[in-house]
Amino acid sequence: MAALLLWLHALAALLFGALALWAWRTGVTGLPRRPLAFALAATALWALAIAGIGSTDIATWFAESLRNLAWLGFMLMLHRRDAQTRPPIALGTVYGVVALVQIAALVLTLISYTNPAEIAAQIANAAVLLRMLVAVAALVLVQALWSALSPAAGGPLRTLVLALAGIWCAEFALYGIAYLAAQWRFEPLVVRGIAYVAVALAIGAALQRKGDWKIEVSRAVTYQSLSLVAIGAYFALLALATSAIAAVGGTNARILQTAFVLGSTAAILTLVANSWLRAWLKVKLAKHLFRHRYDYRTEWMRFTETLGTPQGGAGLDERIVKAVADLTESPAGVLLVPDASGLGVGASWNWDSATLPIASDEALARHLHDTGRIVELDAVRRKEDHLDAPAVPQWMLDLHTAWVLVPLPHHTELTGAILLARPPLDRALDWEDFDLLKVAGRQAASYLAESRAQDALAEAQRFDEFNRRFAFILHDIKNLVSQLTLTARNAERHADNPEFRADMVATLHNSAERMNALLARLSQNHRGRSEAPHAIEIVALIERVAGQRKGQHPVVTSGVRSAIAHADPASLEQLLGHLVQNAIEASPTHEPVTLSVSADGERVAIDVIDQGIGMSPAFIRDKLFKPFVSSKDGGFGIGAFEARQLAHAMEGRIEVTSREGKGTRFRVILKAAHPADLGAPNDNWGHAA
């Protein structure tokens, strides 16, 4: 072990010496050259001291302290080298405190060499504890360096920071083992030698590579620096407490010290893990240490990155909710989007959709459109906000988690609103919150408006593509018409010729097949030209539609036989054909589709009911009746769109009720005609096709 310890540290001394010479003579762009060379040289001197005179000699302790101070100075220069951003004063203070602790450890070591064995052991033990504190503090500072790395920083700087972490991890492991074992052992010293050889190789690889060495000091570094001060105070208290226990504990001192360290550490970790406490500390620090609550540059970069970078397949609506919620540390949110009669529930982030209503709210939409105010719901609950109170729906007030409502205005339109959940630290909004949420709401609204404009453009492009396809079909139809016209003219002269008649039949058969193919390209349920709406008997039409599908899927018909509606039979049959076909495709093979008719004297309702997979409210509102939007693979997506267009043409409408996993009901509502027009009997009917 002694020989291995010697050769490992001799190799480390050679490597660090070579690196120091390289860094001094060549330099590295973007790095503090002289502090780096000095730290490498100090490390080489320390490794040479261990290899030459041993690890417990006074000169070795001096070399180790010089090495640690040199690396701390290099780390501080890394933080301070950016001329554009000056690091907080707290950062330099922390480095100074850590340096003083290192000097104190050296002083205690020197004192232990001049005292009797019993007193010297206790003093040396305190020195080991201080060196552990230096290693822990340095690791926290390395973590601050890692957090301050520029997003564009390349591999060299990241490798160098990881090498620094390796140095301090090795030191912490060595002194931690020495403190717990209460003696020095060769094995940890050998492991430390191996670690330093690996660190030297990593630093050499980092210096050889080229990349961006830029470091940006942010507000987060300030928080981490203050955290380090707190950690230092905790370790100082720990050192004092363990020293006191050693003085009065007698033979059980080691057990009591271990119990105290473990218990106090567990208590500290429990407090740090509390989200409410972390939020409270962050608010207090921001309030008393900074001019503004928010680091606007950091918040805005995170906001735009969340909006522009899909994570986990999340759509734009969900990313908008998350981006706005992150500004106030809200744990959840839901997007309210314009609906036919107001604001309906849209995408959500971490919000239980079961607590949200299905119906939209018209008064809230009108109020947010007219005022653009951010609504603090707690003020409404306390009856302090009389301006917003009349427009806020009761369900929103009943949800205790509902905290604030942020409108999303774009020019003169309201593109939606975001309902945020209460953050871990419940607090009232101040002027900075309102200003930030107002700006974020406008930015999010622009993203929503742009997305909807792109959807509209894509829809127009699809219509244009459809028109081009239709033009091609018209060209083919023109050719067929020309062919049939020529056949009709020749029939006047050659009708008596058997060969001509055979050729004419073949031509007509071929033309019919080609026209059927063209019609299939236009509509899967072609029904001839439309008629003017008039009184028709619904029963026969329903039975005909059901009968056409009897070979494909069971269709059950039921309802009022006397129902007579004012409609175009061809258009209505085509409309129901679309709905029934969709219901069949959504239903399991063993579950029938139901066609039900009801009438109340003024309206006739035809229900198409299935027990299929159902649809979400967001899909019904945003996608169901949009052309070229289909949930089926290869679907063209114009069935529901054409059905609604046909219903409007007959002065009717279509209503949809659906639940995911429970099935769907499409209701076609038409004007009722007088029963005397057809003289239909008044009884109920029902059968299956």
pLDDT in tens, 422-452: 887 777 887 788 888 888 888 888 888 888 8
Residues whose CB is less than 8 angstroms from the CB of residue 562 and which lie 6 or more positions away in sequence, other chains included? 599, 675, 680, 681, 682, 683
DSSP string, 409-447: EETTEEEEEEEEEPPSS-----HHHHHHHHHHHHHHHHH
More confident residue, 490 or 688: 490
559 DSSP 8-state letter: E
- For the stretch 171-184, pLDDT in tens is 888 888 887 776 77
149 DSSP 8-state letter: B
- For the stretch 73-102, pLDDT in tens is 888 887 765 433 444 555 677 888 889 988
Torsion of CA 460, 466, 467, 468, to 10 degrees: 110
Q: Mean pLDDT over residues 656-682, rounded?
A: 80
Query: Where does 302-355 show beta strands of DSSP type E?
Result: 333-339, 342-349
Q: What is the pLDDT of residue 668?
A: 94
Both tokens assigned to 415: 């593109």
Q: What percent of the chain has pLDDT over 90?
A: 8
634 DSSP 8-state letter: T
Kindly give the pairing relationship between strand 342-349 and strand 333-339. Answer: antiparallel
Q: Are 15 and 46 in contact (CB under 8 A)?
A: no
Domain boundaries, the chain: 2-218, 307-452, 534-688
Q: Mean pLDDT over residues 324-348, rounded?
A: 85
Both tokens assigned to 392: 């806020």
Q: Is the pLDDT of residue 608 over 90?
A: yes
Q: What is the pLDDT of residue 276?
A: 58
C-alpha span between 403 and 627 (Å, rounded) = 38
C-alpha span between 377 and 383 (Å, rounded) = 10
Q: What is the pLDDT of residue 666?
A: 94
C-alpha span between 670 and 602 (Å, rounded) = 9
Q: What is the pLDDT of residue 526?
A: 44
Threshold 0.95, pTM exceeds: no
Q: Is the pLDDT of residue 396 over 60?
A: yes
Q: What is the pLDDT of residue 525?
A: 46
Q: What is the pLDDT of residue 69?
A: 92
Residues whose CB is less than 8 angstroms from the CB of residue 449 and which lie 6 or more positions away in sequence, other chains included? 410, 413, 415
Length of the chain in terms of residues written: 689
Q: Are 389 and 383 in contact (CB under 8 A)?
A: yes
| Structural element, H or E, at residue 462 | helix 431-494
Domain 534-688 CATH assignment equals 3.30.565.10:
yes
Which is nearest to 182 in space by CA: 122, 265, 102? 122
Q: What is the pLDDT of residue 655?
A: 92
Q: What is the pLDDT of residue 606?
A: 94
Q: What is the pLDDT of residue 209?
A: 63
Q: 298: how many CB neighbours lie within 10 A of its CB?
A: 13
Q: For the ranges 58-62, 123-127, 601-605, which has the lowest average pLDDT?
A: 123-127
Q: What is the pLDDT of residue 479?
A: 61
Q: What is the pLDDT of residue 464?
A: 76
Residues whose CB is less than 8 angstroms from the CB of residue 323 and which lie 6 or more positions away in sequence, other chains included? 302, 303, 306, 307, 440, 444
Q: What is the pLDDT of residue 580?
A: 87
Residues whose CB is less than 8 angstroms from the CB of residue 655 and which lie 6 or more positions away in sequence, other chains included? 666, 667, 669
Which is nearest to 668 in space by CA: 585, 565, 581? 565
Q: Is the pLDDT of residue 369 over 50?
A: yes
More confident residue, 603 or 115: 603
Determine the 3-state secondary structure of 495 from DSSP: coil
Q: Are 10 and 48 in contact (CB under 8 A)?
A: yes
C-alpha span between 575 and 644 (Å, rounded) = 8
C-alpha span between 66 and 61 (Å, rounded) = 9
Q: Residue 46: exposed, middle, or buried by beta-carbon count in 10 A (0-12, 13-18, 19+)?
A: buried
Which is nearest to 675 in space by CA: 597, 562, 596? 562
Which is nearest to 625 in space by CA: 615, 608, 640, 614? 640
Which is nearest to 110 in space by CA: 96, 120, 100, 118? 120
Q: Are 207 and 175 in contact (CB under 8 A)?
A: no
Q: Is the pLDDT of residue 23 over 70?
A: yes
Beta bridge partners of 410: 413
Q: What is the pLDDT of residue 636?
A: 52
C-alpha span between 261 and 235 (Å, rounded) = 10
Q: For the ranges 193-207, 504-518, 651-665, which has the lowest average pLDDT?
A: 504-518
- For the stretch 525-536, pLDDT in tens is 444 445 678 888
CATH topology of domain 307-452: Beta-Lactamase (3.30.450)
Kindly give the pairing relationship between strand 534-537 and strand 402-410. Answer: unpaired
C-alpha span between 644 and 64 (Å, rounded) = 83
C-alpha span between 336 and 360 (Å, rounded) = 9
CATH topology of domain 2-218: Rhopdopsin 7-helix transmembrane proteins (1.20.1070)
Query: Where does 363-412 show beta strands of DSSP type E?
Result: 375-376, 402-410
Q: Mean pLDDT over residues 281-295, rounded?
A: 58
Q: Is the pLDDT of residue 57 over 70?
A: yes
Both tokens assigned to 149: 């790395």
623 DSSP 8-state letter: I
Kindly give the pairing relationship between strand 534-537 and strand 564-567. Answer: antiparallel
Q: Mean pLDDT over residues 237-264, rounded?
A: 73
Q: What is the pLDDT of residue 405?
A: 92
Both tokens assigned to 5: 């310890």
Q: Is the pLDDT of residue 281 over 50?
A: yes
DSSP string, 186-221: HHHHHHHHHHHHHHHHHHHHHHHS-----B---HHH
| Most confident of the ranges 54-63, 178-187, 259-268 | 54-63
C-alpha span between 405 and 407 (Å, rounded) = 7
C-alpha span between 469 and 2 (Å, rounded) = 86
Q: What is the pLDDT of residue 260?
A: 75
More confident residue, 547 or 13: 13
Q: What is the 3-state secondary structure (H, E, C) of 249-315?
A: CHHHHHHHHHHHHHHHHHHHHHHHCCHHHHHHHHHHHHHHHCCCCCCHHHHHHHHHHHHHCCCCCCC
Which is nearest to 113 in space by CA: 61, 174, 175, 157? 61
C-alpha span between 564 and 300 (Å, rounded) = 62
Query: Where does 530-571 show beta strands of DSSP type E?
Result: 534-537, 555-560, 564-567
